[in-house]
Amino acid sequence: MSKSSSKSIDHAAPILKALVIHPARPLRGQAALEARDPNARLEEAVGLAVALDLNVVEALVAPLRVVTPATLFGKGKVEEFAAICEVEHIDVAVFDDQLTPIQQRNLEKALKVKVVDRTGLILEIFARRARTREGRLQVELARLDYERSRLVRTWTHLERQRGGTGSTGGPGETQIEIDRRLIAGTILKLKKELEEVRRTRTLHRSARKKVPYPTVALVGYTNAGKSTLFNRLTEAEVLAKDMLFATLDPTLRTVKLPDGRPAIMSDTVGFISDLPHELVEAFRATLEEVQEADVVLHVRDVANPDSEAQARDVETVLAELGVTLDEGKTVVEVWNKVDLLSEDDREIVEGQARRNDASAVSAVTGEGCEALLRRIAGLIDDSPPVEVSLAAQDGQALAWIYRNGRVLSRYDGPGGEVTLVARLDAQALGRFERQFPGAQVSAAVD
């Protein structure tokens, strides 16, 4: 049994047997209405474990009405988990929750197996999938940040103090203080390296801007099919597996639009609910591509019953990083995996997509992908900008322009009126004027 959470799962050893537990906490009010189904959460946790090549032999949803500070669950439940571990010869118990260091240590003692929480599991996946130098540095930084709070698991002799000699520690410095200081030094070093890598990437992005190619970024929940769609649209061969976090580092490719113009498309890491705070920064490189994009494709798995909740999770993580998908961004919702729906469900979903200005596609079969490319071409059209003046009550017209055009500037008047300067291709402009005859449209003045 491992005594330290800093030790990762040994993937060179024979395949480890895993027990996966999703603690289902009681929710009330709006939180209960928007909460994802516990069984879907369990299925996702199993997917995370499988992504680490764990052999999941048992998976269960365990109601958690009252949190026990020492072990998360009460004594009876912990004994039940211990019995499963013994009977099934479990090597790793995965708790789909964030455990405190004390809870993790006590559960390992009680279950007599290695215990991994949701944060530790995702960190393991990130560490295995990162390929670029920036990705590896960011994951290592997140890992050290996570471990810094868990040193109590390695050093239980907190009261022991050491008289310092040389650089090993000052007078009266405890062992845990020494370890924290060493980790802090490593974190500082990694941050400096990361800053240098980011400066280089900024230079590369500046060089790309000199080539006037429009940019398109794909975002979405993990396993929504972004990489498969990316491959379909760019005819590339990015790793596209039915696996959580198959893509971690941003990938850039050129795509040829139907009118012959080239554009740069970026595939990004998939998002996930309850993303541990240690890992939010690991999305920074991805989000910079999104922030710079002319068009953002929000890819959703409409065959997943939790599609709406997953979309909210994506928007939540983006908002945490200062990116919104509704203001000043041209965003297209891409409803993927329609090929997995029944004929009746597909008809309903495609009707909903039309009403919501979404693009229904199948990245696997290619259905809807040509229409999506035509839509992208229209959104990044280099038509002359127009000035659109809208009354305070014209919220629908305002939303329509954000969905179908490219907003260059916006002025909000004292009475709630809005003036936009935007690019709309000729076809979109005609549709807008027919649909919203009360809007004032004129050529923009330089």
- SS3 per residue for the chain: CCCCCCCCCCCCCCCCEEEEEEEECCCCHHHHHHCCCHHHHHHHHHHHHHHCCCEEEEEEEEECCCCECCCECCHHHHHHHHHHHHHCCCCEEEECCCCCHHHHHHHHHHHCCEEEEHHHHHHHHHHHHCCCHHHHHHHHHHHHHHHHCCHHHCCCCCCCEECCCCCCCCCCEEHHHHHHHHHHHHHHHHHHHHHHHHHHHHHHHHHHHHCCCCEEEEEEECCCCHHHHHHHHHCCCCCCCCCCCCCCCCEEEEEECCCCCEEEEEECCCECCCCCHHHHHHHHHHHHHHHHCCEEEEEEECCCCCHHHHHHHHHHHHHHCCCCCCCCCEEEEEEECHHHCCHHHHHHHHHHHHHCCCEECCCCCCCCHHHHHHHHHHHCCCCCCEEEEECCCCHHHHHHHHHHCEEEEEEECCCCCEEEEEECCHHHHHHHHHHCCCCEEEECCC
Asked if 314 and 298 touch (Cβ cutoff 8 Å), the reply is yes
Cβ burial 52-91 (10 Å sphere, 16+ → b, else e): bebebebbebbebeeeeeebbbeeebbeebbebbeeeebb
* Mean pLDDT taken over the chain: 83
Q: Where are the domains of the chain?
A: 17-126, 130-196, 211-379, 386-443
Most confident of 147-156, 240-249, 306-315: 306-315
| Higher pLDDT, residue 374 or 159 | 374
- Give the pLDDT confidence of 406-442 residue by residue, as tens digits: 788 899 999 899 999 988 877 788 889 999 998 999 9
The answer to whether domain 386-443 has CATH 2.30.30 is: no
Q: What are phi and psi of 265, to 5 degrees?
A: -115, 135
pLDDT of residue 154: 43
Instruction: Specify the pLDDT at position 407.
Output: 82
Q: What CATH topology corresponds to 17-126?
A: Rossmann fold (3.40.50)
Q: Of 1-10, 62-71, 420-429, where does mean pLDDT reach its minimum?
A: 1-10
The dihedral over CA atoms of 13, 136, 309, 331, expressed in degrees to the nearest 10, equals: -150
CA dist 44 and 38 (Å) reads: 10
pLDDT of amino acid 272:
82
**Predicted pLDDT of residue 198:** 78
In this predicted structure, what is the pLDDT of residue 138? Answer: 83
pLDDT at position 343: 95
Higher pLDDT pick, 338 / 146: 338
User: What is the model's pLDDT at position 265?
Assistant: 92
Is-same-fold flag (17-126; 211-379)? Answer: yes
Which residue ranges make up the annotated binding site for GTP?
A: 220-227, 245-249, 267-270, 336-339
CATH topology for 211-379? Rossmann fold (3.40.50)
Contacts with 244 (C-beta within 8 Å, 6 or more apart), sequence order: 44, 47, 48, 51, 125, 222, 223, 270, 272
The per-residue pLDDT for 384 is 82
**Band of pLDDT at residue 200, cut at 50, 70 and 90:** confident
pLDDT confidence tier of residue 325, bands split at 50, 70 and 90 = low
Confidence of residue 353 (pLDDT cuts 50, 70, 90): very high
Could you tell me the pLDDT band of residue 7, with boundaries at 50, 70 and 90? very low
Q: Is the pLDDT of residue 243 over 90?
A: no
| Residue 126 CB contacts under 8 Å (≥ 6 apart), including other chains | 135, 139, 142, 245, 248, 279, 282
Per-residue pLDDT tens for 116-148? 999 999 988 888 887 778 778 888 888 898 888
Q: 88: pLDDT confidence band, cut at 50, 70 and 90?
A: very high
Residues in the annotated binding site for Mg(2+):
227, 247
Q: Express each pLDDT in 18-37 by its tens digit.
A: 999 999 998 777 666 667 78
Count the neighbouring beta carbons within 10 Å of the beta carbon of residue 166.
5
Q: Residue 161: what pLDDT?
A: 43
pTM greater than 0.75: no
**pLDDT digit string (tens) for 254-304?**
898 887 788 999 887 778 877 766 677 666 666 777 877 889 999 999 999
Annotated binding site: 220-227, 245-249, 267-270, 336-339
